């Protein structure tokens, strides 16, 4: 199973990597390096990380565009009345963020998931430990 663990960033390029934007590639490499440092990067994670990096980069790009354009815009209806509408990029930005967070949670990288992963059932006590507890104060 240990041969599945990746220890070199050069081995992280998989199908889909070349299709990523420059920013998404940087995000992908950064997360791969982080997981390598923790000894947690496995070959099976790479395609999921590609998807995560793509969604996260999309979220960051849309966030910047929404900040520049605004969350709403003015338009006119068929009667010529001014109407304030939501910027459709806001929904796209939120969807990209949700998708990125959902994918990242698979790696225990959200607080809730990390807490859940960190909870381990205590090992059952041996008969000797149970016997010795009777005499502990």
Residue 48 lies in a domain: yes
How far apart are alpha carbons 25 and 54 in whole angstroms? 8
Residue 89 belongs to a domain: yes
User: What are the tens digits of pLDDT across the range 33-81?
Assistant: 998 888 888 888 899 999 999 999 999 999 999 999 999 999 999 999 9
Q: Tell me phi and psi for residue 15, to 5 degrees.
A: -55, 130
Total domain count for the chain? 1
- The answer to whether residue 135 sits within a structural domain is no
Q: Tell me whether residue 18 is in a domain.
A: yes
Higher pLDDT, 8 or 20: 20
In a domain, 122, yes or no: no
Higher pLDDT, 133 or 55: 55
Q: Considering the domain boundaries, does residue 124 fall inside one?
A: no
Per the model's pLDDT, the better-predicted residue between 132 and 36 turns out to be 36
The better pLDDT of the pair 121, 28 is held by 28
Residue 105 has what pLDDT?
A: 79
Q: Which domain holds residue 77?
A: 2-108
Q: Within 13 Å, how many C-alpha atoms sit on residue 17's CB side?
A: 14
Assess whether pLDDT exceeds 60 at residue 7. yes
Beta-carbon contacts of 62 under 8 Å, excluding residues fewer than 6 positions away, are: 89, 92, 93, 96
In a domain, 45, yes or no: yes
Cα separation of 2 and 39, whole Å?
Answer: 10
In a domain, 41, yes or no: yes
What confidence tens digit (pLDDT) does each residue in 90-121 have?
Answer: 999 999 999 998 888 776 655 455 445 444 45
């Amino acid at each position: 199973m240990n041969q599945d663990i990746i220890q070199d960033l050069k081995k992280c390029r998989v199908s889909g990597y070349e299709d990523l934007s420059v920013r998404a590639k940087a995000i992908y490499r950064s997360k791969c390096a982080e997981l390598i440092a923790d000894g947690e990067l496995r070959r099976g994670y790479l395609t999921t990380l590609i998807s995560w990096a793509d969604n996260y980069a999309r979220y960051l790009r849309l966030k910047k565009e929404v900040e520049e354009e605004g969350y709403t815009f003015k338009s006119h209806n068929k009667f010529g009345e001014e109407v304030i509408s939501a910027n459709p990029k806001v929904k796209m930005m939120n969807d990209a963020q949700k998708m990125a967070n959902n994918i990242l949670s698979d790696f225990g990288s959200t607080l809730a998931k990390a807490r859940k992963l960190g909870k381990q059932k205590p090992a059952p006590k041996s008969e000797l430990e149970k016997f010795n507890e009777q005499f502990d104060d």
